[in-house]
């Protein structure tokens, strides 16, 4: 079997040349890789390999195999395309499309460092992209036409990738639970991240596609306002917040959020699934009507500009002002380590208030001072000339 970890040596994994680590999640290691062909042909892709400590656990392997089966069936522009699932030595791995860009979570943190939120237009475009992905996944059928009952269960900012050319893609169907595989719970593994779960998911009730819509509502909310919605200091605090905490409407935190968008996000965040959007199609309908009404164009170019500004291709520091973002604030370049959490909604109201003074107030004061000094000067000149004004 080809060696994976010889320092300095080209790391080969089957036909894949591993170029660099992209990160490790709960159960897998992700690599940027290349497949080589004749005449200098090279195609970049991503290899996702089950972590060695989990590889021998039959439950994990089972979950990974399930992810592979479901993911390989999918073909949609808003879902990261999986094109191979295989066994290399003792390692199961997936090969998939490489999305050159950034996870949405990383974009949110970088924007925050610049004193901004991604803003309403980005929130709408993420909602539309992931809404389309969910509409497709929720409607999937087995070969005999029976619905597969797919629920992603982990719609969260780290599983949403934004490419350099502005495409929005959902990945990581590792915690997908479908009726094909109702027993896919592995003891000790939290499937999905607490702060992005729906109330029914967190309380271990039956979930359906509407649960993913709640999670997408959280993502849209956070992209819009630049604050975490439900995350608490402990799992218990997070669960309490998401099952019963007050949800401040986005417009109460960011003044430029239109009422129509407030209503859409708050409907996605209805705690009772019966009061929520009943399908991704319904959510898409409202988002599209809202965007048309605002006269907003699809923001693909805007998203592309955002990724390239926050994470320039050449690895240089981001520009200090981001015209694509919605909120002014103290600009501070994101550091290399952008893992810092976003603040919470509950401690954000003060921070998020529009700055009433700002440059315009300073300007007024300066004009006032100039006027006083100017008229004093005129008085002095006139006195010197011994001609008091009438
Ligand atoms: N196809 C891809 N292209 C680019 N980056 C990716 C890709 N897949 C994953 N990543 C990066 O790796 C991270 C973890 O990937 P994910 O599939 O969500 O693994 P896990 O199951 O460990 O959460 C993502 O948040 C993203 O930053
Ligand atoms: Mg993930």
Q: Which residue carries 């080809």 as its tokens? A: 2
Give whole-number Cα distances, 304 to 116, 117, 138, 322, in Å.
17, 16, 28, 12
Distance CA 61, CA 42 (A): 30
- CATH (residue range 101-184+192-341): 1.10.510.10
Do the Cβ atoms of 94 and 82 come closer than 8 Å? Answer: yes
Please state, as a whole number, how many other Cβ atoms lie within 10 Å of the Cβ of residue 320: 9
Distance CA 215, CA 154 (A): 8
> Measuring CA to CA, which residue among 276, 352, 339, 341 is closest to residue 119?
352
Q: Which residue carries 């995350």 as its tokens? A: 231
Q: What would the pLDDT profile of 51-63 be if each residue is shown by its tens digit? A: 777 777 777 777 7
Atom nearest to 100 CA in ligand 1: 4
- Facing residues of 16 across strands? 13, 35
Identify the pLDDT of residue 85.
87
Distance CA 113, CA 111 (A): 5
Protein residues with C-beta less than 5 angstroms from the ion ligand 2: 25, 159, 172
Q: What is the mean pLDDT of the chain?
A: 80
> Measuring CA to CA, which residue among 30, 28, 29, 31 is closest to residue 64?
28
Distance CA 314, CA 164 (A): 13
- Fold of the domain built from segment(s) 12-96: Phosphorylase Kinase; domain 1 (3.30.200)
Identify the pLDDT of residue 340.
63
- Res. 9: pLDDT tops 60: no
Q: What would the pLDDT profile of 161-211 be if each residue is shown by its tens digit? A: 999 999 999 998 765 554 444 334 443 344 457 899 999 998 888 899 999
Identify the pLDDT of residue 88.
85
Which ligand has the shortest distance to the CA of 95? 1
Distance CA 85, CA 95 (A): 6
User: Cα(377) to centroid of ligand 1, in Å?
Assistant: 68
Ligand 1: residues whose CB is within 6 Å? 22-23, 25-28, 30, 46, 48, 80, 96-99, 103, 158-159, 161, 171-172, 174
Q: How many CA atoms lie within 13 A of 282 on its CB side?
A: 12
User: Cα(25) to centroid of ligand 2, in Å?
Assistant: 6
**Hey, where are the domains in the chain?**
12-96, 101-184+192-341
- Res. 357: pLDDT tops 70: no
pTM: 0.81
- Res. 151: pLDDT tops 80: yes
Q: What would the pLDDT profile of 81-129 be if each residue is shown by its tens digit? A: 999 888 888 788 889 999 999 999 999 999 998 888 999 999 999 999 9
Identify the pLDDT of residue 194.
87
């Amino acid at each position: 079997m080809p060696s994976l970890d010889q320092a300095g040596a080209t790391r080969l994994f089957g036909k894949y040349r591993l170029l660099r680590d992209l990160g490790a999640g709960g159960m897998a290691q992700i690599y940027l890789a290349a497949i080589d062909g004749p005449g200098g042909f090279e195609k970049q892709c991503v290899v996702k390999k089950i972590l060695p400590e989990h590889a021998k656990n039959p439950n994990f392997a089972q979950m990974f195999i399930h992810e592979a089966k479901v993911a390989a069936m999918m073909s949609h522009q808003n879902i990261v395309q999986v094109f191979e699932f295989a066994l290399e030595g003792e390692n199961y791995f997936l090969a998939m499309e490489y999305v050159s860009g950034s996870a949405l979570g990383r974009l949110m943190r970088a924007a925050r460092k610049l004193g901004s939120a991604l803003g309403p237009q980005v929130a709408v475009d993420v909602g539309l992209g992931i809404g389309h992905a969910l509409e497709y996944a929720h409607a999937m059928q087995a070969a005999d036409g029976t619905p597969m009952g797919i629920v992603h269960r982990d719609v969260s900012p780290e599983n949403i990738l934004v490419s350099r050319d502005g495409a929005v893609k959902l990945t990581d169907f590792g915690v997908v639970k479908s009726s094909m595989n109702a027993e896919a719970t592995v003891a000790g593994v939290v499937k999905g991240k607490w702060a992005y779960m729906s109330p029914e998911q967190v309380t271990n009730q039956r979930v359906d596609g509407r649960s993913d819509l709640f999670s997408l509502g959280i993502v849209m909310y956070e992209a819009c306002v630049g604050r975490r919605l439900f995350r608490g200091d402990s799992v218990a605090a997070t669960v309490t917040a998401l099952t019963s905490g007050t949800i401040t409407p986005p417009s109460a935190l960011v003044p430029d959020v239109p009422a129509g968008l407030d209503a859409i996000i708050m409907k996605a965040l209805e705690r009772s699934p019966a009061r929520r959007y009943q399908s991704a199609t319904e959510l898409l309908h409202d988002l599209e009507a809202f965007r048309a009404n605002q006269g907003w164009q699809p923001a693909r170019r805007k998203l592309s500009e955002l990724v390239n500004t926050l994470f320039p291709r050449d690895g240089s520091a981001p520009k200090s002002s981001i015209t694509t973002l919605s909120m002014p604030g103290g600009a501070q370049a994101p550091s290399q380590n952008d893992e810092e959490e976003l603040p919470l909604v509950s401690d954000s109201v003060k921070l998020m208030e529009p700055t009433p003074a700002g440059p315009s107030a300073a300007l007024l004061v300066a004009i006032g001072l100039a006027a006083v000094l100017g008229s004093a000067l005129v008085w002095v000149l006139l006195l010197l000339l011994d001609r008091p004004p009438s």
